Amino acid sequence: MKALVLTTKDYDCSSITLNFNSYGIPYDLMTFTASKPFTGTISLYDNKNQPKYNLIVINGGNLVYENASKQWVSALSADQWSVIEDYEAKNSVRRVIISDEVSSRSDIELEVSNKWGVTKDKQPLISDTSADIKKIFQNAGVKINAPLDINGIYHTRVKITNTKTTKPMLYYDDNGKRGAVAATVAKYDNGREVMSFFFELGSWHQSSAIMNHLWLNWGTRSLYNGFRRVYFTPHIDDVFLSTELVDPAKDTYEGSEVSRTTPFDMQKIAQFQKDILKDMPEGSFFRSELAFNGNGAIISGNPEAAVEVDGERYVDIEFVKKPGTGEKRWEKPNYKLSQKQLNAINKDPLFKYFNHNETAQKEFFWSSHTFTHENLDNASRTDVDNEIRLNIEFAELLGLTDKEWWSGSSMVTPQISGLHNKDAIDVFLQYGIKSATGDLSRKAITNAENPYLPFYTTKKSSNYEGFPIIPRTPTEIYYFCSTRDQDLYVYNKMYNFKYTFDKFLEAEGKRTFLLMSQLRHEAHQFHQANLRYYKKQGKYGESLLEDWTRGVLAVYNKYLEWPLISIKIDRQAEVFIERAKLEACGHESKILVENNKIVGVSVSATKGECIVPITVPTTVKKSSLPAGATLEQVGKDPLTVWVPVKKGETKTFKFDKALDWKVNGSNVKATTTTTTTTTIKTTTTTKNVEPTNKFKCFAETLGYQCCPSTITEVYYTDENGDWGYDYQSGNWCGLHTYIPDNNCWSKALGFKCCHGCVVVDEDEDGNKWGFEGISEDENENWCGIDSRICKN
């Protein structure tokens, strides 16, 4: 359940590594260079002789580069390649090859002799429709007719010469018909299985993202320590405020009408959120998050009573404020709303619509966007306190704060401000706000190393260490637009385009879908003006939010069957923070194999506490689930077992039905594979004794072999004793010497005699005790060690 990626420096590996990161699957990356030829042996087994990898990905066929003699040679020798192939055969490890070559393949050759690769602006692909290939697509949740292509990507046209071992997976589309082969799946006589793509992959390329899911699910047999989910949540900022709109007729960004969401707009959005589910994949759930500003209700109810605070930013966008300083734009600290202001709130039609109206409220998620929308970058502590406290009080007036759709632990700050302001962060924490939303367009507050993790503030960034900023993606639906004409006007003006609205929606759909298909969990930014109702025309919807959503869905539905799930901002923050803990806890997942079948998985952690997701292709025994473990499966997505572990803990669960782990047609023994980010294993030291009978160890009495002296790790314990696993032979083995069930001293005390000689304890009388067995009654596991046979 850990992958090995082999590449040369000349090949771009970002699409491959991004794919593993998107699932949270650990991997090792080896990059070969001509300047430093690799002469050693690739470490495929650990120091306990256990296989380290359950998937090998090779980026660049034969790993060829140009050496110092100007010759194109493989980075690995024939012997080194042979070691890898032997490892794959012995351990049923599948191989995936990106940008494969034909020079070393006996089952593949060029479609036309000496006609090598080309790059075309448009080159669609066609999927094979055999049962095996359909199964690969089905297991990945990818539609068999997904419009895959390799536009702009270097590719080679090949044909299959050995149809017994090798089958087509993808073809090049030649004028709507199957052309040369583009990808294959091979099963060789020695048990090895290889999936080959005869083209490169790019992280910028949509079809590459889709094909990444195909090879990953096939290569892992859909059993991996990671998680696949598409979270799809629109965030609506500035709710209760009004917005001055652009005016395309006057070619101006300001000075036009002012728009504010009405109860009717909200009713229409709520209905749209229900209606669109019929067009989404099975299991989908869609809901928008309303990030609100309470002062907007006062402005609506009585403008003269509104709180007047300058909300603009007058410092650099990444300004880091010195603690204890800052502007005081509020008239006084600890501001209290007057009765006049409370009366104004109760006059606001939108407030009255949502006020303690659970039927209306529950159609949305709710979170704070501060009270007046003051920029917090250079705000004083007292200003931030007013902004946060009063908006929470406004939420209480609405009757939100005790509802499941309310988020009180995370928020959206105005203009994504205050995140470099320690005073602001201190106030957030004071009111229980433990994270805030960021913006992918701002590198300074985005995790550059891993987009699947939060950005944690530092002393340098914010004078505060460790406050999580949860990424969010901006859309091309602009805050001061409420109609299609307005938004298209701004888009074309910004980018100097001449798009129609159809072309705009297609571009936005593709841009957004690339992020979604890379399992990016960010929410999508909108504003209150984007909810404004307009009359349905033809194929379009009734608001900018609806048109955008349907544009994205039109692209999504061409490719995937994965459900789309909306989550509230508190849960979204948890998703990112839990992923960060997972990366840091040193988790280890181990496949448990018995008789060439996978029977379960064990999970442990060596550095800290985390929740480890194990995605499985079958059902599990609920009775075997460890404490705290949960099951999650939505729609056609695979089942995921979430296993909480603390440092030093190991937990296991079992499948309802064991899974085959032996490659079809292979006589190779199966093994156990360990996944780890940092590995610390518990070992049992075994001393050899002179046997008094024909059995060297207890396992021989059961028809199994004894472990060689190099194998000391306990993999499994039953009533017979401790078992190890010999990966060279592919067999279970006994770890301790066989001791006949003599009438030893412990039987007089009511305890059994040990089969082995491993001393766990010694009592005050000098008697040595062992511990063998797995009974829930601890006394049944203690046993006496016969000193007449064991000389330790």
Q: Quickly list DSSP for 341-357.
A: HHHHHHH-HHHHHHTT-
Structure confidence at residue 719 as a pLDDT band (50, 70, 90): low
Specify the pLDDT at position 664.
41
Q: Is residue 726 over pLDDT 70?
A: no
Specify the pLDDT at position 299.
99
Specify the pLDDT at position 242.
98
Q: Is residue 4 over pLDDT 90?
A: yes
Specify the pLDDT at position 743.
63
Q: Is residue 46 over pLDDT 90?
A: no
Q: Is residue 614 over pLDDT 80?
A: yes
Specify the pLDDT at position 209.
98
Give 624 or 774, the one with higher predicted confidence: 624
Specify the pLDDT at position 778.
58
Q: What percent of the chain has pLDDT over 70?
A: 89
Q: What is d(CA 714, CA 519) in angstroms, rounded to the nearest whole number?
A: 37
Q: Is residue 68 over pLDDT 70?
A: yes
Structure confidence at residue 504 as a pLDDT band (50, 70, 90): very high
CA within 13 Å, CB half, 482:
21
Q: Is residue 770 over pLDDT 90?
A: no
Specify the pLDDT at position 786.
75
The predicted-structure confidence for 733-752, as pLDDT tens digits, reads as follows: 787 766 665 567 887 777 88
Give 752 or 196, the one with higher predicted confidence: 196
Domains of the chain: 3-219 (3.40.50.880), 231-565 (3.20.20.370), 589-676 (no CATH), 698-784 (no CATH)
**Tokens matching residue 135:** 């199964």
Q: Is residue 689 over pLDDT 80?
A: no
Q: Could you tell me the pTM of the whole model?
A: 0.84
Q: What percent of the chain has pLDDT over 90?
A: 78
Sign of the CA dihedral 652, 653, 654, 660? negative
Q: Is residue 285 over pLDDT 50?
A: yes
**Mean pLDDT taken over the chain:** 90
231-235, 420-424, 691-695: range with lowest mean pLDDT: 691-695
| CB within 8 Å of 637: residues ≥ 6 apart | 141, 228, 229, 283, 562, 563
Specify the pLDDT at position 690.
32
| Phi/psi of residue 711, nearest 5 degrees | -105, 115
Q: What is d(CA 48, CA 63) in angstroms, rounded to the nearest whole number?
A: 29
Specify the pLDDT at position 684.
26
The predicted-structure confidence for 459-484, as pLDDT tens digits, reads as follows: 999 999 999 999 999 999 999 999 99
Specify the pLDDT at position 672.
39
The predicted-structure confidence for 307-343, as pLDDT tens digits, reads as follows: 999 999 999 999 999 999 999 999 999 999 999 999 9
> What average pLDDT score do residues 268-272 get?
98
> What average pLDDT score do residues 30-34 get?
95
Specify the pLDDT at position 775.
52
Strands 435-437 and 410-411: parallel
| CB within 8 Å of 432: residues ≥ 6 apart | 408, 409
Helix residue ranges, H only, 335-419:
339-347, 349-354, 358-361, 381-398
Specify the pLDDT at position 651.
96
Structure confidence at residue 666 as a pLDDT band (50, 70, 90): very low
Q: Is residue 433 over pLDDT 90?
A: yes
| CB within 8 Å of 574: residues ≥ 6 apart | none
Kind plus residue range of the DSSP H or E element containing 422: helix 422-430
Q: Is residue 135 over pLDDT 70?
A: yes
